[in-house]
Amino acid sequence: MIEKVNQLLFFDNLALYYVLREIPPVVLARAFLTVDSRLSGSLLGLMDPEQRTMVHALMIKENDEDTEKNDQSAHALIDMANELIKKGIIRKEGPHFRGVQAAEESQG
């Protein structure tokens, strides 16, 4: 289980993809306003161009400095990651977290 959003930096791309696909774009946009830029970059790199454009537009719209909403959005990433860990879709290996390839096939 993770406790801080920066622990998502220890997720491989597949694990981040699993988290990304479960979070609404508006929540991602708010989270991106406050999370580590390395994490934002990793998540943006997993999106297709249309998703990136949408999230960037939402970041501009949601940039109202509402720290409570921004914190809730970042916490949503933690909650979703922990839910996927509980389900076995993401597995902890030492300090790192890896997406389970078979999980993609069973979810589809």
Q: So what's the architecture of 5-107 in CATH?
A: Orthogonal Bundle (1.10)
Residue 12 phi, psi dihedral angles, 5° rounding:
-75, 175
> In the beta sheet, which residues pair with residue 82?
none
Rg (C-alpha) for the chain, rounded Å, is 13
pTM of the model: 0.89
Cβ atoms of residues 91 and 14 within 8 Å: no
Residues with Cβ < 8 Å from 61, sequence gap 6 or more?
29
The pLDDT confidence band at residue 65, using thresholds 50, 70 and 90, is: confident
Average pLDDT over residues 82-88: 98
CA distance 53 to 90: 27
Q: Give the torsion sign (CA, 70, 71, 73, 74).
A: positive
Q: What is the pLDDT of residues 14-43, one digit of tens each?
A: 999 999 999 999 999 999 999 999 999 999
Provide the pLDDT for residue 105: 60
What average pLDDT does the structure give for the chain? 93
Average pLDDT over residues 80-104: 93
Cβ atoms of residues 103 and 18 within 8 Å: yes
